[in-house]
């Protein structure tokens, strides 16, 4: 690995990029949990019985958002590793 040629500033920048990638995934995860909870709440509260399609939309969107965040986490992580190896 050519990581030995990187100076401290480069190593810190790479670490910040890794942390930003993880924060982005956590934002997707948090939004996914929020959508799931909102969808289930809409489906179970009698006040919203006229709009069950909205609840089901949130419930279906939740795992899709989680999977997209997971895909983005892995793909950006691979890109970072590939970029480090080219340096």
Each residue's pLDDT expressed in tens, for the chain with a length of 87 residues: 444 677 889 889 999 999 999 999 999 999 999 999 999 999 999 998 999 999 999 999 999 999 999 999 999 999 999 988 876
Residue 4: its pLDDT value, please?
A: 62
Alpha-carbon dihedral angle through residues 18, 20, 21, 24, given to the nearest 10 degrees: 160
Residue 85: its pLDDT value, please?
A: 84
Residue 83: its pLDDT value, please?
A: 87
Helices vs. strands in the chain: H and E counts, helices first: 2, 0
- The sign of the CA dihedral 26, 28, 29, 31 is positive
Radius of gyration for the alpha carbons in the chain, expressed in angstroms and rounded: 19
Do 31 and 43 form a contact (C-beta atoms < 8 A)?
no
């Amino acid at each position: 690995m050519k990581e030995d040629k990187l100076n401290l500033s480069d190593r810190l920048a790479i670490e910040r990029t890794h942390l930003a990638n993880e924060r982005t995934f956590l934002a997707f995860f948090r939004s996914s949990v929020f959508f799931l909870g909102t969808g289930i709440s809409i489906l179970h509260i009698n006040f919203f019985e006229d709009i069950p399609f909205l609840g089901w939309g949130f419930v279906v969107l939740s795992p899709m958002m989680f999977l997209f965040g997971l895909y983005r986490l892995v793909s950006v992580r691979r890109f970072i590793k590939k970029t480090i190896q080219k340096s």
